[in-house]
A and B are shown apart, each in its own frame.
Chain A
Amino acid sequence: MKLLEYKAKELFEQFGVPVMHGCVVDDLGTIAQTIENAGLTYPVVVKAQVQIGGRGKAGGIRFADNAGEAGEHCRALLHSELKGYRVDKLLIVEKAEHEIEWYLSIMLDRLSKRPMIIFSAEGGVDIEETSRISPSRVHKLVIDPMIGIQAYMARYFLSASGLSLDYLGRMHELLCNLYRCFNAYDCMLCEINPLILDKKGQFIALDSKVDIDDSALYRLPDMAAFRDSIQEEALIREARDFGFLYIPIEKDGSIAVMSNGSGMLMSCIDLISREGMKVCAALDLGGGATSERIAQAVRILVSTPGIKALLINIFGGITRCDEVAGGIKLALMSAKKNMTAVIRLEGTNKEKGLEIIASLEGDIVPVPGLRESVQALKDRRERL
């Protein structure tokens, strides 16, 4: 789960990673008061809290020289839409005066299977861009969990980047704090870009990015609450309430795919795409395919805008096919949508399941395998 900037900033602050002074605005009625209470030094920056690329270009970042201007920006931005996302929160921070713009992050590196620190003296821009254009200016260091953060690591980054060792103490402290945050909150990524020095010579995280492992949310109650508060596509959230994973694929797709494993979903999407057809959404059922769960999954999936056909590929081995078929029947009967449903079932009580499928009316196509299911869709291509 990627945190919104204001939330990431709060988290950094909690772990002693210095951030710019500011406040969060989320209520139209109390804008002036919130700004006044924050005791800001002007100029300030008003930043819309939405997870979109090119936020500045879309008008989501505005500068203000006094409280009045800041208030105007807030009234204009709050609850407006940016690239299709409603702005429910604004972050106002003091505008920084600084010279350096560095990059610092700790990420979970799946190649070394350890945390990795990435540092560059060329911050403020996309690190992938820097990696590509001037890879020699991006420095990486894998952390051995037994060693943790040590002063020599800060020394390495400064030395390798040709920077003064005067920064050593501050850099070491910053790394320690960021690493504590990384571990305490099960982070996949803690990124500071840019990292700046203020006039007092203190490091400050001007922008904060944090990505948290979804599997760890059960032990991070504050972050679980945050997840429930953020905007998400309604279908993703609805699916999650049932323990399903709903994945939107292509906006102009017309085929939805459902299976009980992400590998099979990927295989289905690959085969459909290879035939030049487009998938609009995919749903992973996970385990426990009872008829009620299947019915809910089908109901959610057929709510996908633009859907014309449904491919259900259940391959459970011990999954009971009659349960699955019963669920499909329930959902399709109440969906009242005239759509194609290609159904492949493999597992216990397969014959019983197929009988139920055969009793359904409409364009319901039982198929014996993955290849045949894609062929059935291909045969109906004109209508999809």
Chain B
Amino acid sequence: MSILIDQETRLIVQGITGREGRFHTEQMLSYGTRVVAGVTPGKGGSDVLGVPVFNTVREAKEATDANATIIFVPAKFTKDSVLEAIDAGMKLIFTIAEHVPVHDMMFCYQIARARGVRLFGPNSFGVISPGKCKAGFMAHRMFTPGNVGVMSRSATNCYETVLMLSNNGIGQSTCVGNGGDMIPGSTFVDVLPDFQADPETKAIVIIGEIGGNEEELAAAYIKEHATKPVVAMIAGKNAPKDRSMGHAGAIVSADGTGSAQSKEAALQDAGAIIAQSTQHILEIMLELKSKGKI
């Protein structure tokens, strides 16, 4: 097993004829991902690397019975593409563009929730179930099959961690890029139940960062439901204040929500093991491994 995607995933690539879309379609195909259709308005009827291209998601889904879609279109078209996918009945959507306007994402988020759609990203590397399937642009060579579930708000911190895990013989069941934006389609607490239920996943790594309350929500879930070891790291303890969040974020965090201290305290209280760095995550995982827990 694994979560979200595997050999059964039948993926659409929205924006397949673009530079990024084409390149990463090739990468995904070579990894074994079943890319069944592409969508680019005006390019319907053509193909990319043998993958049929359609003008709309609706036509692509009807023709191929796809069950997931990844959106490689630029930020300014992301809202339209997400809503198109939702309206076409897609239930699993990955979106990766950086700099999607937050008002666009707020709308997409609300619609996705109302329609029971699982939306990931934006500003995310996607999702990979090593050895089975990847939907995203991550450099897949560093990922290895195994039984640690990883999810991260940051791509680079995830890569760093995964490379060290893989080099030390610790593989991953699935790695999820939640994305670094203010309003991600899914957060840790949305994915935790999947990892908890997945028999292949023996331990869970959460790579969080300052801002928002995603880690606090995850902590509440862990406290109630998690029976697997959870290792968590919070990046940004020494990041300059007010640089990216500003006043709007500071009002709601008057109670301390959003700070690394608050997040670590909540996670620790929930029974998670706190790592101080990506290197520390590896050390903790090696210890879990030596105890036979993973």
Residues of A within 8 A of B (CB): 2, 107-111, 113-115, 118, 127-128, 131-132, 144-146, 183, 186, 188-189, 191, 209, 211, 213-216, 218-219, 247-250, 259-264, 266-267, 269-274, 279, 286-287, 315-318, 346-347, 369-371
A115 nearest CB neighbor, chain B only: B106
B32 to chain A, nearest CB (A): 18
With a CB–CB cut-off of 8 A, which chain B residues contact A287? 98
A113 to B106, CA, bound (A): 6
7 interchain residue pairs of minimum CB distance: A263-B154, A317-B139, A261-B156, A264-B156, A273-B238, A263-B157, A216-B101
Report yes or no: B246 in contact with A271, Cβ–Cβ below 8 A.
no
Does B169 touch A at the CB level, under 8 Å?
Answer: no
With a CB–CB cut-off of 8 A, which chain A residues contact B76? 218-219
Q: Known A189-B248, A209-B247, A211-B248; judge A347-B101 contact (CB<8 A).
A: no
Q: Which of A118, A219, A267 contacts B235 (CB 8 A)?
A: A267
What are 21 of the A-B contact pairs (CB < 8 Å)? A2-B247, A108-B102, A110-B211, A110-B213, A110-B252, A113-B106, A211-B247, A213-B103, A219-B101, A264-B157, A266-B154, A270-B235, A274-B238, A315-B156, A315-B159, A315-B160, A315-B163, A317-B138, A317-B142, A317-B159, A346-B163
A225 to B92, CA, bound (A): 38
A277 to B272, CA, bound (A): 29
With a CB–CB cut-off of 8 A, which chain B residues contact A370? 160, 277-279
Report yes or no: A111 in contact with B101, Cβ–Cβ below 8 A.
no
A34 to B181, CA, bound (A): 44
Interface size of B in residues (CB-CB distance below 8 Å) = 57
A186 to B277, CA, bound (A): 35
Report yes or no: A259 in contact with B156, Cβ–Cβ below 8 A.
yes
Q: Which of B102, B152, B207, B246 contacts A215 (CB 8 A)?
A: B102
A259 nearest CB neighbor, chain B only: B156
Q: Known A249-B240, A270-B237; judge A213-B249 contact (CB<8 A).
A: no
A279 to chain B, nearest CB (A): 8
Among A247, A273, A315, A316, which residue has the most Cβ atoms of chain B within 10 A?
A315
Report yes or no: A110 in contact with B212, Cβ–Cβ below 8 A.
yes
Does B100 touch A at the CB level, under 8 Å?
Answer: yes
Report yes or no: B154 in contact with A262, Cβ–Cβ below 8 A.
yes
Mask, B155-166, CB within 8 Å of A = 1, is 111111001100
| Sample of 20 further A-B pairs with CB below 8 A, known A250-B240, A269-B238, A370-B160 | A110-B182, A110-B252, A113-B110, A118-B251, A127-B251, A128-B254, A131-B251, A144-B110, A211-B246, A211-B248, A213-B101, A213-B103, A262-B154, A264-B156, A266-B154, A266-B209, A266-B236, A267-B160, A274-B276, A318-B139
Does B250 touch A at the CB level, under 8 Å?
Answer: yes
A109 nearest CB neighbor, chain B only: B252
B187 to chain A, nearest CB (A): 10
A249 to chain B, nearest CB (A): 5
A371 nearest CB neighbor, chain B only: B279
Main DSSP-derived SS at the A contact region: mixed
Report yes or no: A111 in contact with B257, Cβ–Cβ below 8 A.
yes
A287 to B103, CA, bound (A): 24
A380 to chain B, nearest CB (A): 19
With a CB–CB cut-off of 8 A, which chain B residues contact A317? 138-139, 141-142, 159
Does B180 touch A at the CB level, under 8 Å?
Answer: yes
Q: Known A145-B107, A188-B246, A247-B240; judge A215-B251 contact (CB<8 A).
A: no
B232 to chain A, nearest CB (A): 14
A333 to B72, CA, bound (A): 38
Report yes or no: A186 in contact with B102, Cβ–Cβ below 8 A.
yes
With a CB–CB cut-off of 8 A, which chain A residues contact B109? 113
Does B115 touch A at the CB level, under 8 Å?
Answer: no
Does B183 touch A at the CB level, under 8 Å?
Answer: yes
Report yes or no: B156 in contact with A132, Cβ–Cβ below 8 A.
no
Report yes or no: A107 in contact with B248, Cβ–Cβ below 8 A.
yes
Mask, B63-84, CB within 8 Å of A = 1, is 0000000000001100000000
Q: Which of A263, A267, A270, A369 contacts B153 (CB 8 A)?
A: A263
Report yes or no: B235 in contact with A114, Cβ–Cβ below 8 A.
no
Report yes or no: B110 in contact with A186, Cβ–Cβ below 8 A.
no
Q: Known A264-B160, A317-B138; judge A188-B237 contact (CB<8 A).
A: no
Mask, B101-128, CB within 8 Å of A = 1, is 1110011011000000000000000000
A191 to B250, CA, bound (A): 13
